[in-house]
């Protein structure tokens, strides 16, 4: 449908997954009270992006994925993907989604090759040995194709789970903590694999505890805590908006008050006048510039200092701050 | 309602392959047990027993013994098939796939039924080593066995969804099916029972199965084949309805 003049920046065509008002309350078992794992979640995922869902343990990440992929029955809200509504068109919707679960849940007596081929068939795709070989080769599993899964290491098992999820060529891939318990080298490998998938046009939604991972790979980041989405933003935007530079000048001699020349800068005098601490910037480099200016002002003003400790806040700091602040507000 | 043939056959094949992977174990135990029954009841004791309704005792017990194994094997095979992925968590794949109740039943129950038919063939072949018997209505016998295997595989499937531990999985075949089959006229005709036990026996559903199968073998039975078939069909339908409901509500499948 064409709408003359009114061209929304984010057209619906670009939204590959549309989650609205999604809620999930697990009934309490025995004496346990019910747990609200998802609380009115709205989330739109764009076609072709890598979206990282960050959140502490128990935030509801796995539940969110489960609700979209069919392991969890939502207690409210709606989900649609590729324009198919999950309530009505779940078959067509599911056939294009791949899932790598958080747990290493596999039939350990099955052989790698067979397990991956099974996944393709289960999703209704005709057998395609060449495609299976390709998937196994990309994930360096080809040599292990005849091994039983129980003979593989944990990291290798996770690769098999990825291979299984890719076997039916999904357009949307969920990775629930793809690099949990994976060593550094394998993690780099995994990032490359995910990068390649993006190049092929696959939309990826991943959850992770490693902020490094979100920083490295994601286009957009969503922060979830206690079942609520606290923030969704472009990664760079978020860093810019919430990023901070912190710099501490250790002074040679304590000061009684801040020099007047620093009045315009976000600085405080700390440790009984022994250090000047700068907290500011916006993640775009402004902070660094200002720290340099402050250094110059101190030198020109004859205030001696022995050292500068400078630190750019990472996504991790932002995340911790967000969860603390907003979490406290919500409670 | 749509049905994805590729998905259904994929599950069916995988389940059957899983069975073949352990074929030796899955076949040896039931076959050995049946052999022992034939040796003890058919050959050793049977020789001293009178004919039952004109059928030599050794031959008389063949349908009952066949059912004894079939009921418990169908039930436990099907229950195991669906319980294992629930237990290991690998059921996530089935749940996330574009697969509904029809494909799932075709795959899991279909495979369990196939196993039961293979088992039935082997047991009948084994039986010929010990006793002389002749099947009067082989086609009817085949369909009756198929019907029973399907009904009890469906029961097993429900059991596999319901169970939350391995004990419960074994409970029904062991504590319910085997005793009922023993008391269901496997080794005797219920006409041989005195009242009130004869009437009590008629409340045992297995009596109708044994009787029905015995009719297909020897053309005579305690109850009519129509009643036996009707009851089995009813049972099968109830199972399908229950499973349909389970899938609709997601009970024990989806959190
Ligand atoms: N089957 C269940 N029954 C009851 N409560 C559950 C169930 N699954 C999850 N929960 C609860 O729901 C909340 C969200 O859990 P979820 O697994 O979605 O968190 P998560 O963000 O994936 O955590 P993690 O980072 O540890 O994987 C938690 O409080 C958890 O205890
Ligand atoms: Mg999780």
Residue range A147-158, pLDDT digits in tens: 999 999 888 898
> What's the mean pLDDT in B64-91?
91
Q: Is the pLDDT of residue A7 over 50?
A: no
pLDDT-derived band at B187, boundaries 50, 70, 90:
confident
**A230 pocket-lining for ligand 1 (C-beta < 6 Å):** no
* pLDDT surpassing 70 at residue B12: yes
Mean pLDDT for chain B overall: 87
Please state, in angstroms and rounded to a whole number, the distance separating the CA atoms of residues A254 and A242. Answer: 31
Question: Residue B1: its pLDDT value, please?
Answer: 58
Cβ separation A72–B254 shorter than 8 A: yes
* Residues B10, A118: Cα–Cα separation, whole Å: 6
How long a stretch of residues is chain A? 331
CATH number for the segment(s) A244-312: 3.30.70
Shortest distance between the Cα of B11 and any Cα of chain A, in A, equals 7
**pLDDT tens digits, residue range A41-86?**
999 999 999 999 988 888 999 999 999 999 999 999 999 999 999 9
* Closest chain B residue by Cα to residue A65: B96
Say if ligand 1 is within 6 A of residue A66 CB. Answer: no
Lowest mean pLDDT among A177-181, A289-293, B86-90, B133-137: A177-181
The number of beta carbons lying within 10 Å of the beta carbon of residue A261 is 15
More confident residue, A51 or B129: A51
Q: Which of residues 63-92 of B touch A (CB under 8 A)?
A: 84-85, 88-92
The 10 Å Cβ neighbour count of residue A31 is 5
In residues, how long is chain B? 255
Please name every residue paired with A100 in a beta bridge, in sequence order, or none if there are none: A175
> In the predicted model, what is the mean pLDDT of chain A?
87
Tokens of A133: 């070989």
Phi-psi region of A207 (alpha: psi -120 to 50; beta: other; left: phi over 0): beta
Q: Residues B116-139: what's their mean pLDDT?
A: 89
The residues, ordered by sequence, that sit 6+ positions from B85 with a Cβ below 8 Å of its Cβ are A107, B91, B93, B94
pLDDT-derived band at B33, boundaries 50, 70, 90: confident
- Could you give the CA distance from residue B132 to residue B119 in angstroms, rounded to a whole number? 20
Ligand 1 atom closest to the Cα of residue A28 is: 4
| Residue B78, both tokens | 């099907």
Hey, whose CA ends up nearest to atom 19 of ligand 1?
Answer: A58
Distance A330 CA to ligand 1 centre (A): 19
Distance A177 CA to ligand 2 centre (A): 7
CB contact B95 to A (< 8 Å): yes
Q: Which residues contact A90 (CB under 8 A, 6 or more apart)?
A: A70, A84, B98
Q: Is B248 on the interface with A (CB under 8 A)?
A: no
Long-range contact pairs involving B170-174 (C-beta distance under 8 Å, separation at least 24): B170/B76, B172/B75, B172/B79, B173/B71, B173/B72, B173/B75, B173/B76, B174/B72
pLDDT confidence band for A3 (50 / 70 / 90) = very low
Query: Which ipTM score applies to this complex?
Result: 0.87
- Inter-residue contact A311 to A279 (CB < 8 Å): no
Closest atom, ligand 1, to C-alpha of A209? 25
- The finding on whether A37 has its CB within 6 A of some atom of ligand 1 is yes
Q: Per-domain residue ranges for chain A?
A: 15-239, 244-312
As a whole-number percent, the residues of chain A with pLDDT over 90 amount to 50
- Per-residue pLDDT, A8: 45
- DSSP strands (E only) in chain A: 15-26, 35-46, 50-54, 76-81, 84-85, 97-100, 172-176, 203-208, 220-225, 228-234, 245-251, 267-270, 275-280, 305-312
Give the separation between CA A177 and CA B173, rounded to whole angstroms: 41
Decide: A55 in ligand 1 pocket, CB within 6 A. yes
Residue nearest to atom 27 of ligand 1 (CA): A57
CATH of the structural domain A15-239, one choice from 3.40.50.300, 1.10.1060.10, 3.30.1330.10, 3.40.1360.10:
3.40.50.300
Those residues whose C-beta lies under 8 Å from the C-beta of residue A18, and which sit 6 or more positions away, are A44, A45, A79, A80, A81
Q: Are strands A50-54 and A267-270 parallel, antiparallel or unpaired?
A: unpaired
Q: How far apart are the first and last CA of chain B?
A: 24
Least confident span in A39-53, B177-191, B203-217 = B177-191
**DSSP character at residue A32:** P
Q: Enumerate the β-bridge partners of residue A250.
A: A275, A307
| Averaged pLDDT, A264-289 | 85
At residue A327, the pLDDT reads 60
Ligand nearest to the CA of A53: 1
> Between the ranges A56-70, A269-283, A284-298, B21-35, where is the mean pLDDT highest?
A56-70
Condensed to tens digits (0 to 9), the pLDDT of residues A194-213 reads 899 999 999 999 998 777 77
The per-residue pLDDT for B48 is 73
A301 CA from centroid of ligand 2 (Å): 54
Among protein residues, the one with the nearest Cα to ligand 1's atom 5 is A26
Mean pLDDT confidence for B159-167: 90
Ligand 2 centre to CA of B119 (Å) is 43
Q: Name the minimum distance, in Å, from the CA of B91 to any CA of chain A.
A: 8
pLDDT 10s digits, B223-251: 788 888 898 899 889 988 998 888 888 77
Q: Which tokens sit at A260?
A: 């007047």
Q: Which residue's entry shows tokens 């992925």? A: B85
Burial of A260: CB neighbours in 10 Å, binned 0-12, 13-18, 19+: exposed
Say yes or no: CB of residue A35 within 6 Å of ligand 1.
yes
Pocket test for ligand 1, best of A24, A35, A66 (most atoms within 8 A of CB): A35
Residue of B nearest to A72 (CA): B255
User: What kind and span of H or E run contains A330?
Assistant: helix A315-330
Residue A205 token pair: 């939604």
CB spacing of B6 vs A126 below 8 angstroms: yes
């Amino acid at each position: 449908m064409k709408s003359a003049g009114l061209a929304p920046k984010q057209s619906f065509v670009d939204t590959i997954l549309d989650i609205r008002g999604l809620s999930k309350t697990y009934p309490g078992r025995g004496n346990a009270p019910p747990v609200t794992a998802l609380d009115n979640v709205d989330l739109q995922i764009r076609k072709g992006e890598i979206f990282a869902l960050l959140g502490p343990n128990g935030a509801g990440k796995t539940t969110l994925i489960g609700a979209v992929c069919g392991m969890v029955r939502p207690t409210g809200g709606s989900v649609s993907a590729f324009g198919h509504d999950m309530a009505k068109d779940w078959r067509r919707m599911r056939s294009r989604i791949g899932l790598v679960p958080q747990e290493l849940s596999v039939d350990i007596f099955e052989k790698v090759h067979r397990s991956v081929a099974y996944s393709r068939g289960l999703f209704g795709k005709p057998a395609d040995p060449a495609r299976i070989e390709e998937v196994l080769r990309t994930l360096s599993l080809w040599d292990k194709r005849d091994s039983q899964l129980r003979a593989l290491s944990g990291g290798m098992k996770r690769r098999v789970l990825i291979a299984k999820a890719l076997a039916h060529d999904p357009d949307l891939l969920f990775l629930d903590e793809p690099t949990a318990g994976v060593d550094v080298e394998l993690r780099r490998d995994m990032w490359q694999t995910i990068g390649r998938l993006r190049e092929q046009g696959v939309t990826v939604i991943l959850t992770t505890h490693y902020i490094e991972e979100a920083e490295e790979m994601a286009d957009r980041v969503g922060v979830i805590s206690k079942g609520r989405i606290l923030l969704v933003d472009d990664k760079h935007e978020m860093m810019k908006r919430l990023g901070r530079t912190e710099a501490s000048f250790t002074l040679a001699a304590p000061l009684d008050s801040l020099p007047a020349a620093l009045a315009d800068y976000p600085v405080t005098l700390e440790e009984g006048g022994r250090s000047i601490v700068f907290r500011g910037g916006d993640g775009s480099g402004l902070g660094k510039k200002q720290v340099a200016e402050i250094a110059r002002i101190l030198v020109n003003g004859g205030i001696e200092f022995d050292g500068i400790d400078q630190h750019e806040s990472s996504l991790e700091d932002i995340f911790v701050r967000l969860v603390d602040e907003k979490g406290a507000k919500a409670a | 309602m749509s049905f994805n043939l590729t998905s259904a056959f994929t599950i069916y094949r995988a389940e059957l392959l899983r069975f073949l992977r352990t074929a030796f174990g899955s076949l040896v135990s039931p076959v050995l047990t049946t052999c022992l029954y034939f040796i003890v009841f058919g050959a050793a004791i049977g020789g001293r027993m009178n004919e039952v309704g004109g059928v030599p005792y050794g031959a008389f017990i063949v349908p009952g013994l066949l059912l004894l194994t079939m009921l418990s094997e169908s039930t436990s095979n099907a229950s195991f098939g669906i319980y294992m992925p629930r237990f290991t968590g690998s059921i996530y794949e089935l749940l996330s796939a574009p697969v509904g109740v029809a494909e799932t039943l075709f795959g899991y129950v279909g495979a369990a039924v196939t196993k039961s038919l293979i088992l039935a063939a082997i047991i009948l072949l084994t039986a010929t080593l010990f006793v002389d018997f002749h099947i009067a209505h082989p086609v009817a016998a085949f369909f009756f066995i198929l019907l029973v295997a399907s009904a009890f595989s469906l029961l097993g499937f429900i059991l596999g969804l319901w169970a939350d531990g391995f004990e419960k999985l074994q409970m029904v075949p062991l504590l319910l099916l085997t005793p009922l089959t023993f008391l269901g006229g496997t080794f005797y005709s219920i006409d041989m029972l005195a009242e009130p036990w004869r009437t009590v026996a008629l409340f045992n559903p297995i009596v109708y199965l044994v009787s029905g199968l015995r009719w297909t073998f020897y053309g005579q039975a305690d109850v009519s084949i129509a009643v036996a078939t009707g009851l089995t069909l009813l049972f099968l339908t109830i199972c399908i309805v229950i499973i349909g409901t389970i899938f609709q509500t997601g009970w024990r499948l989806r959190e």
